[in-house]
Amino acid sequence: MHGTSDNPTRPIDHVALRGEDDAPALVLREGPINYKVLRSRVSRLAGWLAAQVPEPCARVATWAAKGELTCLAPLAAARAGLVHVPVNPLLKRAQVAHILADSGARLLIGTPARLATLEPGDLPPACTTLGEGDALEAAAALARDLPPSSADPDALAAILYTSGSTGRPKGVMLSHANMWLGAESVADYLDLGRDDRTLSVLPLSFDYGQNQLFSTWYAGGSVIPLDYLMPRDVMKAVERHDVTTLAAVPPLWVQIAELDWPEATAAKLRRLTNSGGALTPGLVRRLRGRFPQARLFAMYGLTEAFRSTFLDPALIDTHPTSMGKAIPHAEILVINDLGEVAADGQEGELVHCGPLVAQGYWQDPERTAERFRPAPAASRYGGMAVWSGDRVRREADGLLYFVGRRDAMIKSAGNRISPQEIEEAALATGLVAEAVALGMPDERLGQAVHLIARAAPDMSDAREELPRKLMRDLPNFMQPKVIHWREAMPISPNGKIDRALLQAELAR
């Protein structure tokens, strides 16, 4: 079992047990609920889930905006002995249908409007659906309480779907221990306390977003879920709820830094945390000027190992481009092309070892074998490690710096986007014969999606129709910023479309 001798690993639903009964745990639109009520509602939702889906380790999915259901489901499903599959509420029916089929979900609880978009054949044969309000009411009416879980901490507790550079989203398998130790680690290095109030603006389907719940509850603090429409909504929520902790991705930080924050409102924030893309030195300066009293944590992570590094906020002004050092419970090695630990200043692959490493990809041994491989001989943990594919270097002071990505995955506004998924959507319209999706540098998004397309024969209306059909079939964060039309695609010596040449041409 993973964990430390003075703080053993536990099933993830135990995280709700750590706050004081009368302390606020979750601030919903309907009002705050304290830890005593939180524990009761988790217990009853777990009892209802166990009655609905009695098969141990069955998958239950949620597809809804932030609220009581999506915040409690990760703990309730785990307590019921089930595996939670959170679905990004921004996804549309085609992506959701893939996740449901791939995970073999037995139950989908979601917003009625979202559920209504599903078409015949989108649900696996054994999967049923229910509106989130109906599910919560049924759980309250059944009034069947389940005690805290006694599950093996290494048992599977959740599957988080993430896009890679090729193929459709793949499910990363997380154990109770993965999530518990992630919560403990973050609560530790962020120095979260019972008086902290975390504004949860990131999707709960992301490991970064989900951990906002777990790490805050581990510390006994309060979470305020927010589905914001405009950056100003974030500022208003900080003012209204006396928020102390705010996590975001670079594009949102750009917008937040542009707002005219009242001095008293900005002073409420004690810590700012960033992941999902690097902060630029200019953005660091703007955030430090806007929130001089707040500690700014730059972090690096990947869903396959939750999070790997953070930079000590005391160094952010002098080392704004550094990824920092390993977080608690993580061991980060830089391995050169000879398979050895890289020398100081030498580029190598970031390899994450230790108990935060996930259990692989759900029902995908081939892709699991590519990314999850035995730890290097130098590892003090051994076992399986995540070979990230990211190129980094470690300087003599121990600080890590990002060099580049080995794969072609597009990272836009904190979202990991599979180029192949966009290309498949374009080809499925019948309007194009060939399509290539690339990520190009963008000041606000980090990377913007550019689609290079060759129209199918006799499709004279392709240029007008393709944007409309992609808007119908893909979520907003996957939409191409620009579509470049070509009469022919460049071909590489191996007979494939020359993506590197297209990338170079667009970069000119």
Average pLDDT over residues 201-210: 93
The beta strands (E) that lie in 191-232 are given as 197-200, 222-225
Query: Does residue 409 have a pLDDT over 60?
Result: yes
Distances (CA, A) of 268 to 95, 197, 216, 259, 320: 39, 10, 17, 16, 23
Please name which of 82, 196, 227 lies closest in space to residue 146, comparing C-alpha atoms. 82
Instruction: Supply the mean pLDDT for the chain.
Output: 93
Contact status, residue 431 vs residue 462, Cβ threshold 8 Å: yes
Which of 248-257, 352-361, 493-502 has the least mean pLDDT?
Answer: 493-502
Tokens of 22: 């009368």
Q: Report all structural domains of the chain as residue ranges with CATH numbers, in order of start.
A: 1-227 (3.40.50.980), 410-507 (3.30.300.30)
Average pLDDT over residues 106-133: 96
What's the pLDDT score for residue 79?
Answer: 98
Query: pLDDT tens digits, residue range 423-456?
Result: 989 988 999 988 999 999 998 999 999 999 999 8
Query: pLDDT tens digits, residue range 271-301?
Result: 999 988 788 888 999 999 999 999 999 999 9
What's the pLDDT score for residue 496?
Answer: 72
Pairing of strands 415-417, 410-412: antiparallel
What's the pLDDT score for residue 45?
Answer: 98
Query: Does residue 406 have a pLDDT over 70?
Result: no
Non-local (6+) Cβ contacts of 36 within 8 A are 21, 22
Query: Does residue 404 have a pLDDT over 80?
Result: no
What's the pLDDT score for residue 165?
Answer: 47
What's the pLDDT score for residue 424?
Answer: 85
Instruction: Please work out, in degrees rounded to the nearest 5, the angle formed at the alpha carbon of residue 28 by the alpha carbons of 474 and 206.
Output: 35
Query: pLDDT tens digits, residue range 15-41?
Result: 999 999 999 999 999 999 999 999 999
Rounded CA separation 349/333 (Å): 8
Share of the chain above pLDDT 70, in %: 96
Non-local (6+) Cβ contacts of 28 within 8 A are 67, 68, 225
Query: Does residue 167 have a pLDDT over 90?
Result: no
Burial of 55 (0-12, 13-18, 19+ CB in 10 A): exposed
Distances (CA, A) of 142 to 33, 84, 137, 145, 339: 20, 21, 9, 9, 57
Please tell me which of 54-63, 156-165, 248-257 the model is most confident about, judged by mean pLDDT.
54-63
Half-sphere exposure of 258 (CA within 13 A, CB side): 10
Average pLDDT over residues 468-488: 96
Query: Does residue 6 have a pLDDT over 70?
Result: no
Query: pLDDT tens digits, residue range 52-81?
Result: 999 999 999 999 999 999 999 999 999 999
Half-sphere exposure of 267 (CA within 13 A, CB side): 3
Q: Taking the model in full, what pTM does it have?
A: 0.86
What's the pLDDT score for residue 274?
Answer: 94
Which of 93-107, 233-247, 269-283 has the least mean pLDDT?
Answer: 269-283
What's the pLDDT score for residue 1?
Answer: 31
